[in-house]
Structure 1
Amino acid sequence: MPYLRLETNVPQEKIPASFPSELCEIVSKSLGKPLSYCAATVVGGVSMAFGGTNEPTAQATLMSIGALGVAENKKHAKAIFEAVEKTLGIPPTRMYISFQNAPTSDIGYNKTTFHDLFG
């Protein structure tokens, strides 16, 4: 159910093919959610600027059913920012993360919704 989408102006060919899987593991651990439910997408080569420059930058959206909040998001942000900086060389001052806490009825899975599966 957690989904991380990362968009960056770093060229796709400079992004390791394993990075989405690594982000799934980071998100799973940080959120305390099963890895089998985690998904991550990394889209490189996006035409984007941050602070008026085209230096390496990124934006991310982390959606989850629960496990998000004031204190929790600080922990998730730290883990994601560290991974992006280590792997893509993007400083944490050149990236935003948007956190979206989704209701179980708004996320479909396995021909139904998580509301039907978990309430």
Structure 2
Amino acid sequence: MPHFRLETNIPKSKVTVDFLKQTTALMAKALGKPESYCVVTVIPDLPAVWGGSSEPCGTATLMSIGKLGVEENKKHAAALHDHIEKNLGIPRNRLYITFVDEDAANVGYNGTTFHEIFGGK
């Protein structure tokens, strides 16, 4: 159920399958969630300017059911910023990440919601 979505002005050619797989594994480990539930999407080639510059930049959202909060998000931000800067060349100071701690009843999967999958907890 965790989903990391990155919207960026970097070219599609820089977004490799290996990057997507590595990001999925990083998310699963950081959030303590099964990798089989983790999704990473990158929307490249967007016209974007940050502070008047068209150098690499982006915005991202990490949605999860739980495992997000004040202290957790600091760790997630550090890991994701490092990973993205190293692999995609987007500097840490040119990427916002929004964290969304979604309620299990608001995330659908396989014809139901995670609220039901988790036994109504």
Both proteins in one fold, TM over 0.5:
yes
What are the residue-to-residue correspondences of 1:73-88 with 2, within 5 Å? 73-88=73-88
Following superposition, the deviation at residue 14 of structure 1 comes to: 2.1
In the superposition, the TM-score normalised over structure 2's length comes to: 0.95
Query: C-alpha separation between the residues in 1 aligned to 2:12 and 2:113?
Result: 33
Amino acid at match of 1:53: S
In the superposition, the TM-score normalised over structure 1's length comes to: 0.96
Amino acid at match of 1:43: I
What are the residue-to-residue correspondences of 1:17-32 with 2, within 5 Å? 17-32=17-32
Following superposition, the deviation at residue 17 of structure 1 comes to: 2.5
Query: C-alpha separation between the residues in 1 aligned to 2:75 and 2:14?
Result: 27
Deviation string for 1:63-83 (max 9, x for gaps)? Answer: 000000000000110111011
Query: C-alpha separation between the residues in 2 aligned to 1:7 and 1:19?
Result: 15
Deviation string for 1:49-68 (max 9, x for gaps)? Answer: 11121010011100000000
The answer to whether structure 1 residue 46 and structure 2 residue 53 are counterparts is no
Give runs of ≥4 in structure 1 deviating > 2 Å: none
Give the paired residue count.
119
Structure 1: state its 5+ residue gaps. Answer: none
Query: C-alpha separation between the residues in 2 aligned to 1:53 and 1:20?
Result: 26
Give the match for residue 9 of structure 1.
9
Deviates more, 1:46-55 or 1:58-67: 46-55
Tell me the percent identity: 50
Query: C-alpha separation between the residues in 1 aligned to 2:95 and 2:22?
Result: 18
Q: CA RMSD in A?
A: 0.8
